[in-house]
Amino acid sequence: MKNKIAIIANGSINDKEFHKKFLKDFDIVICADGGANNARELDITPDYIIGDLDSADSEVIDYFNNKKTEIINDDDQNKTDLELAIALATTLDPSEIKIFGAIGNRIDHTLANIFCLTQIKPEIKAQIIDEKNVISLVEDSIDVIGKKDDLVSVVPLTDVFGLSYNGLKWNVSNKNTRMGWFGISNRLTNSKGKINLSKGKILVIKSKE
């Protein structure tokens, strides 16, 4: 049986009730080092904590150690804590990996976290989520589910071929474009839109104003 896996990173978690409600729906929860501090704040006991443990508070580590959380001290300095958490998640037969606490005040950390989505196989549904954004890496197609007038932006990570939208206010059809073109602040015309491409990688970001 495939697992729904949540990863909690060390970025900002502002709306605690949103995250607590969302995180109840996962089979496995992994904390990326200081993400353990966020889990403690949310009163969520992770199955694993992984990293070099330089960001997680020592009392938080002790608390979860007593809760039988598996703590993996990995000091590989060639990988970020989120990369380590993703690598662990991929060994646990995931059907999806959703990442929380990956958006914060450090733009370098936030960008690195977003690009970590490229390390997850396309057949595994992968998203970064907070109370205002859902960020998905797409290599073929995605159904964008939301509410009428939700913002939808498309950011190519590579050259892109055959890009098409349906169900958005400003649609494109079979567009070829290079990295550096942006489809920012489009909108859903109802509760569902579809974006597909024949080749390349894009970020699809659904946002609330």
Three state DSSP letters for 10-71? CCCCCCHHHHHHHHCCCCEEEEECCHHHHHHHHCCCCCEEEECCCCCCHHHHHHHHHCCCEE
Residue 154 has a pLDDT of: 96
* Residue ranges for the chain with pLDDT beneath 50: none
Residue 180 has a pLDDT of: 85
Residue 167 has a pLDDT of: 95
Residue 37 has a pLDDT of: 97
Residue 155 has a pLDDT of: 95
> Candidates 2.30.110.10, 1.10.150.120, 3.40.50.10240, 2.60.120.260; correct CATH number of 3-129?
3.40.50.10240
Residue 117 has a pLDDT of: 95
Q: Which amino acid is at 90?
A: T
The topology under which CATH files domain 138-207 is: Jelly Rolls (2.60.120)
Q: Where in the chain is the domain with CATH 2.60.120.320?
A: 138-207
Q: Where in the chain is the domain with CATH 3.40.50.10240?
A: 3-129
**DSSP labels for the chain?**
--EEEEEE-SS----HHHHHHHHTT-SEEEEETTHHHHHHHHT---SEEEE-SSSS-HHHHHHHHHTT-EEEE---TTS-HHHHHHHHHHTS-EEEEEEES---S-HHHHHHHHHGGGGS-TTSEEEEE-SSEEEEEESSEEEEE--TT-EEEEEESS-EEEEEEESBSS---SEEE-BTB-EEEEEBSSSEEEEE-SBS-EEEEEE--
pLDDT digits (tens, 9 = 90+) for 81-116: 999 999 999 999 999 999 999 998 889 989 999 999
- Find, among 5, 11, 157, 4, the residue nearest to 81 by Cα: 11
Residue 165 has a pLDDT of: 95
Residue 77 has a pLDDT of: 76
pTM of the model: 0.92
